[in-house]
Chain A
Amino acid sequence: QSVLTQPPSVSAAPGQKVTISCSGSSSNIGNNFVSWYQQLPGTAPTLLIYDNNKRPSGIPDRFSGSKSGTSATLGITGLQTGDEADYYCGTWDSSLSAVVFGGGTKLTVL
């Protein structure tokens, strides 16, 4: 059971938009920054979003992040088949004194 809650799967058609939610509590998302990672099949995760809504260089603006209260959201617009991957949210948990992650969301581009 992961500390952060994500939907197991989401799907949408190419060109469409999808959002992935990440729900936590005041000890984690509510008082700390959220990051998002993309994990393509058989590869290591890569950083997509950091500090709630910032994109590392090289990440297209089709990817966006937001946070409100104890929840965070990853948005992906203009979906491409190459976006099919697992997506994870992560943050620091002040009560556990550990970095925690969501269980991951599998994105299918139909």
Chain B
Amino acid sequence: QVQLQQWGAGLLKPSETLSLTCAVFDGSFSGYYWSWLRQPPGKGLEWIGEINHRGSTNYNPSLKSRVAMSTDTSKNQFSLKLNSVTAADTAVYYCARVFRPTWYFDLWGRGTLVTVSS
């Protein structure tokens, strides 16, 4: 059964860069799009963007200027970088598998709480 395992720094200072990685276990990496989403404490879900195994990306326009995603196909991993973080970026960040073209997320990581505080 395919599993997603994610990790990264959980505490950042304002202006630093958020960095998270998600590994795909026991399943195909190629042929899918892979997404990052986030959920501020007590709030709803926000889609950050997606990437496929070829490195083709699609970002949420609201975050596009600060986001970069990448893949390491040799390790079946994909990563998120979000620069110039502020307290508004405090959230649980999830990695997920995207089923295109109808845009649903059928597999999710367990989430990583990232707190931005001085």
List the interface of chain A (C-beta within 8 A of B). 2, 32-33, 35, 37, 43-47, 50-51, 56, 88, 90-92, 96-104
Contacts and interface: CB of A to CB of B under 8 A. Distances in A.
Q: Most chain-A CB neighbours within 10 Å: which of B58, B102, B104, B108?
A: B104
Nearest to A45: B108
Contact of B45 (A50, A56, A90, A91): A90
A96 B94 contact: no
Looking at chain B, what size class is its interface with the partner chain?
20 to 34
B46 to A, nearest CB: 7
Nearest to B107: A47
Contacts of A46: 108
B26 interface: no
A47 B99 CA distance: 11
Nearest to A36: B104
B106 A47 contact: yes
12 contacts: A32-B102, A35-B104, A35-B105, A44-B108, A44-B109, A50-B99, A50-B102, A88-B44, A92-B103, A99-B60, A101-B46, A102-B44
